[in-house]
């Protein structure tokens, strides 16, 4: 009976961890996007609006295109949750990146 319970627990853990990749927010190339997870912002001229607090083990957002606006809308960005050195909440070397609220 213990082996069966352990198997079910392992299956549930694997299933839940696989969902984290499925549920991650991904830039869809639209000029207005609501963001609910950390990732790369790569649509030139886009306006991104954070719709909830976000968290990441390393860098949270990397802005990789010009003329991007990230409106945090009063939400928190938590980064380096595992203590990784040299990480940032928002990382960019692009022109005209605007971070507000």
- pLDDT tens figures, 16-63: 333 344 347 899 999 999 999 999 999 999 999 999 999 999 999 999
CA 48 to CA 84: how far, in whole Å?
Answer: 26
Distance between CA atoms of residues 61 and 56, nearest Å:
9
Kind and range of the H or E element at 2?
helix 2-23
Asked whether the whole model's pTM tops 0.85, one would answer: no
DSSP 98: E
When pLDDT is cut at 50, 70 and 90, the band that residue 8 belongs to is low
* Alpha-helix residue ranges (DSSP H) falling in the chain: 2-23
The residue assigned the tokens 């606006």 is 69
């Amino acid at each position: 009976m213990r082996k069966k319970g352990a198997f079910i627990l392992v299956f549930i853990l694997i299933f839940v961890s696989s969902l984290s990749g499925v549920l991650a927010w991904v830039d869809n190339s639209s000029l207005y996007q609501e963001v609910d997870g950390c990732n790369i912002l790569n649509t030139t001229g886009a306006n991104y609006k954070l719709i909830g607090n976000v968290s990441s083990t390393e860098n949270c957002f990397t802005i990789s295109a010009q003329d991007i606006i990230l409106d945090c809308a009063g939400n928190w960005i938590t980064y380096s949750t595992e203590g990784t050195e040299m990480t940032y909440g928002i990382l960019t070397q692009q022109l005209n990146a605007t971070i507000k609220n």
